[in-house]
Structure formats: structure tokens, C-alpha cells
Amino acid sequence: MNETNSIPSVETGEPQPGPWRCIFTDAIRYWERGRVGYNLILAAVVIGWLVLTWPHFRPAFTWPSLAALLVLAVFANVCYCAAYFTDVAMQLSSFRDMWRRRRWVLWLTGTLFAILLTNYWIADEIYCFVH
């Protein structure tokens, strides 16, 4: 099976992954491992709000509100995927080696921004409307 982005191996003649495939594989391996921590941190923020302000949030536990929470969780994960654009672009540049050592900064910045948005959304859009 000969792929269009494959390069034949000198030793075996078998197709080897091309540069694009290696870059995408590396990006997926890195960012999908980070997604677990990202989701755990955002879940901890939401659970923290619920635990610390429980009596106030009790009326908010309805099926429609849980559906909205699911939609917001999906939206947070779609936003997480934006990191792929930066990662692939940087891996295609001459800064690839330096980028691969320091891309945790992008993960940390994005996660902190997601925490900020999560707190804003809960405090401004949900907390004040729950009676």
C-alpha cells in the first residue's frame, strides 16, 4: 500500500511515514494526553463552585441545565482543539525542536484561559440567575 505522503525505506522498500504524518502523530500524542488534565481541571472548577455554594445551586439541577452543562463541556473541548493549529504550524517551522520542549506553555496558557472563562460563565451567567 503506497501512500501519497510516504517515503520508501532504504532498507526494506516499505513505505515510511512522511513528515506530515509524523507531525500530526506527534501533535495528537501530546495534546490528547493533555486533554485529560485539561478536562479534570475544568471539572474541578465546576465541582468547586457547586460544593462551595451548594445551597444556592441546588435549584439549578434540572435535566435542561445538565444538557446545557454537556454542551458547554463539548464547547470547551472544541476550543481545546485550537492548540493543534499552533502546534502543527510551529512544528513545520525551523523552531520545531525548541517548540516541542516548550509547548507546555501553550497548554498552561490555554488551560488558565479556560479556567477564567469557566469562572466567568458560572459567576456571571449562571450564579446570578439561580434562585
The whole-number average pLDDT for the span 105-131 is: 87
pLDDT tens-digit map of 24-82: 999 999 999 999 999 999 999 999 998 998 888 888 778 887 888 889 999 999 999 99
Q: Within 10 Å of residue 9's Cβ, how many Cβ atoms?
A: 10
The whole-number average pLDDT for the span 81-110 is: 95
Would you put residue 13 in left (φ > 0), alpha (ψ -120 to 50) or beta? Answer: left
Give, for 17, the enclosing helix (H) or strand (E).
strand 15-17
- pLDDT of 14 reads 58
Residue ranges of domains in the chain: 19-129
